[in-house]
């Protein structure tokens, strides 16, 4: 089992975690996912754009800085996004369960 698969298993085992998606660093291709294919594709499309926008904003504020983590909380879910140099990790959780 790869290190990535082990990390996904640890995350999914956490209370409140509803899904984990790993995207290619460009944010367009799903590498691994614990949610259904359609939902993973939707997150890939939308979160990839969000990461690009957030990263551009951080660079515009300080060109020596970079985006390392992004958390979006809605009424239903909390989406945690970690853009790594090699991939984008997305964790979807129910904020009432953790």
Q: Could you read off the pLDDT of 17-59 as tens digits, one per residue?
A: 999 999 998 777 999 999 999 999 999 999 989 999 999 999 9
59-90: pLDDT as tens digits = 999 999 999 999 999 999 999 999 988 899 99
Per-residue confidence (pLDDT) for residue 60, from 0 to 100: 97
Categorize the per-residue pLDDT at 98 as very low, low, confident or very high, splitting at 50, 70 and 90.
Answer: low
**Degrees (nearest 5) of the Cα angle 49, 54, 59?**
125
Query: What is the number of structural domains in the chain?
Result: 1
User: Is 54 inside any structural domain?
Assistant: yes
Per-residue confidence (pLDDT) for residue 4, from 0 to 100: 85
Q: The tokens 């944010």 sit on which residue? A: 27
Q: How far apart are the first and last CA of the chain?
A: 27
Distances (CA, A) of 8 to 13, 57, 58, 98: 9, 29, 28, 17
CB neighbours of residue 47 within 10 Å: 20
- Domain span at residue 67? 3-93
- CATH number of the domain enclosing 75: 3.30.450.30
């Amino acid at each position: 089992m790869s290190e990535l698969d082990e990390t996904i298993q640890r995350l999914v085992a956490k209370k409140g975690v509803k899904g984990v998606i790993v995207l290619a660093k460009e944010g367009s291709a799903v590498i691994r996912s614990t949610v259904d294919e359609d939902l993973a594709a939707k997150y890939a499309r939308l979160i990839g754009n969000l990461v690009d926008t957030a990263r551009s904003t951080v660079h515009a504020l300080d060109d020596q800085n970079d985006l390392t983590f992004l958390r979006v909380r809605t009424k239903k879910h909390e989406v945690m996004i970690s853009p790594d140099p090699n991939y984008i990790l997305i964790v979807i959780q129910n904020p009432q369960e953790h």
